Amino acid sequence: MGFKELMSVIDKERKLYIQMHRPPDPDCLACASVMSDMLTSVGFEPGIVYTGVISKPETVELINNLGIKLIRLDTDTNKHLVQKEDQVIVVDCQKENSNVAPLPAEYIACIDHHPELIANEYKYADIRPDFGACSSMIYEYALDIDYQLSPVQAALLIYGIRIDTDDLSRRKYLMDVDIFAALYKIANLEILSNIGRNAIRPEDISTTIVAYENLTIKNNIAYSFAGDDKAKESLAELADKLISLADISFVVVYSKCFNGFNFSVRSQTFTLNAGKIAKNAFARANGDGGGHKYMAGGLVPKVAFMDLHGNKAVMEHVITLIEEAIVEVSQEEE
Ligand SMILES: [Mn+2]
């Protein structure tokens, strides 16, 4: 595996695209951007493609400030851009993932750090879930051909690593730590310190106010109704904020949307597995839930809460669902 082998599977005569998942996050963006630069340096002309809205203001700002050229495919002008005979490299995700728009082209390569959920045939596959961030893998590709990363590229990869590893906060990110250190020596640190300075959207403030007003704390668990029609990303951000409350080790945030109630769940303790608890809790309300130990989400259809009147009654029912799930999940584990 390595850059040379990746190059060997690319047909220079056919168009080449690097595809990001939806919505692209900093890790994905860093990988696509640096990989695109590296491929350009050896004579390819890749285009970076994605679908969906990039809503995080710090990500948008980063793209604009660094002049990263991206092509959004779900627009009238671009919807037929990628053709059957074209080639696609997926980064930080895999073909047929639910957050990857299926393109008619040939998926020739995949570089990812997520576990393989669906087996896919690529001409070149580098899937290594032992990495905390895909950006760390891209650093290895640069080393492989002695590609000199610029201070800006190094900063971008560092940002990708920081976001995906939660600032290298867990022991399993040992491999990323060494790469982080190497990148740190060459990175433009000014860029890094400015990222996120404008991270709050004005509309986030009202969501945050509603969420704090509707905050209920019971047994060190924070529950909050964030109001109607909140985007999944806003709920996730809110859950991340609430988990930092003192004495809170588990967070459940939800919003009422057209198709039901959307949930975002966070855990900070080994004893409460967010994914298992979400799965169990929402299934009992005829919904779906799941995720990882520390991060989970779910959707419960409106009918499940139909007989409940008012936000308070819904909140009480949510608390019951979560508490029952906690009991059941802990019994399963014994
Ligand atoms: Mn990633």
Tens-digit pLDDT profile for residues 263-315: 999 999 989 999 999 999 999 999 999 888 888 999 999 988 888 888 999 99
Whether the predicted pLDDT of 180 surpasses 90? yes
Do 3-194 and 204-333 share a fold?
Answer: no
**281 close to 267: Cβ distance less than 8 angstroms:** no
Q: What protein residues have CB closer than 5 angstroms to ion ligand 1?
A: 27, 92, 134, 164
CATH architecture of 204-333: Roll (3.10)
Q: What pTM does this model have?
A: 0.71
Give residue 152's pLDDT.
95
Q: CA–CA separation, 9 vs 118, rounded Å?
A: 21
Q: How far away, in angstroms, is 60 Cα from ligand 1 center?
A: 17
Q: How far away, in angstroms, is 147 Cα from ligand 1 center?
A: 22
**74 close to 86: Cβ distance less than 8 angstroms:** no
Delimit the domains of the chain by residue range.
3-194, 204-333
Whether the predicted pLDDT of 98 surpasses 70? yes
Whether the predicted pLDDT of 54 surpasses 90? no
Give residue 198's pLDDT.
63
Phi-psi region of 192 (alpha: psi -120 to 50; beta: other; left: phi over 0): alpha
Q: How far away, in angstroms, is 129 Cα from ligand 1 center?
A: 10
Bridge partners for 109 per DSSP: 89, 124
Give residue 70's pLDDT.
97
Degrees, nearest 5: CA angle 244-301-222 = 20
Give residue 315's pLDDT.
96
Task: Note the CATH number of domain 3-194.
Answer: 3.90.1640.10
Looking at every residue in the chain, the average pLDDT score rounds to 92
Mean pLDDT for 319-324 is: 97
Q: How far away, in angstroms, is 131 Cα from ligand 1 center?
A: 9
**267 close to 240: Cβ distance less than 8 angstroms:** no
Q: How far away, in angstroms, is 165 Cα from ligand 1 center?
A: 9
Q: How far away, in angstroms, is 144 Cα from ligand 1 center?
A: 21
Q: How far away, in angstroms, is 40 Cα from ligand 1 center?
A: 22
Give residue 195's pLDDT.
78
Q: How far away, in angstroms, is 140 Cα from ligand 1 center?
A: 15
